[in-house]
Amino acid sequence: MAAIKGKNTRPEILVRKALHATGFRFRLHDRKLPGRPDIVLKKYRAVVFVQGCFWHGHECKDFRWPKTRKSWWRKKIEGNSARDTKNVLALRSGNWRVLTIWECALPNNRDVFPVTLKNKIALWIGGKKVSLEIGGGTHD
C-alpha cells in the first residue's frame, strides 16, 4: 500500500484543472487545516476533498468490500471514513465550507470534464451553501 498515492491523484488533478480553467485560484494540501484538504479556496473560505470511493467507503456502484482479509479492510476503510467525518466537523467548526467530490462523479474519459459538473462546483464555491457532496450521477 506504500505505492498508493494520497495526493495528486488522477481524479484530484482532473478537478484542479477544471477549477483552474473556470478561473478559480487555490492552494493545495494546506497542512494547517484538518485533513489537509486537496484544494483550499481561501478567498471563498471553502475547501474541496476529492475522495476515492474504495478508500473512503462510498456507498456507490464502484465500491465493493474486499473478499480477503475482510476484518482488516473493514477496520481500515471505516477508520478512513470516521477520520473524514471528524475532519469535516473540525473544518465546519472553523467556519470553512466543505465540498466532497467522489471519484464516481468524475468522468471515465479523462479528456472531457462535464460542463454541468463544472458549473455545479463553481456555483457551490461562489454560493453560500456550507457543504455539498457530489457523487456518481449527481451532475446529470
Residue in the structure block whose three cell numbers are 474541496: 48
User: What end-to-end distance do the CA atoms of the chain give, in Å?
Assistant: 34
Q: Where are the domains of the chain?
A: 10-134
Per-residue model confidence as pLDDT tens for the chain (140 residues):
555 667 888 899 999 999 999 999 999 999 999 999 999 999 999 999 999 999 999 999 889 999 999 999 999 999 999 999 999 999 999 999 999 999 999 987 666 788 999 999 999 999 999 999 999 855 44
* Domain 10-134 superfamily per CATH: VSR Endonuclease (3.40.960.10)
Q: Which amino acid is at 91?
A: L
Q: How high is the pLDDT of residue 8?
A: 86
Amino acid at 93: S
Q: How far is CA 83 from CA 16, 20, 75, in A?
A: 23, 28, 12
Q: What is the pTM of this model?
A: 0.90
Which pLDDT belongs to residue 114? 87
Longest CA–CA span in the chain (Å) reads 45
Residue 2 has a CB neighbour count (10 Å cut-off) of 3
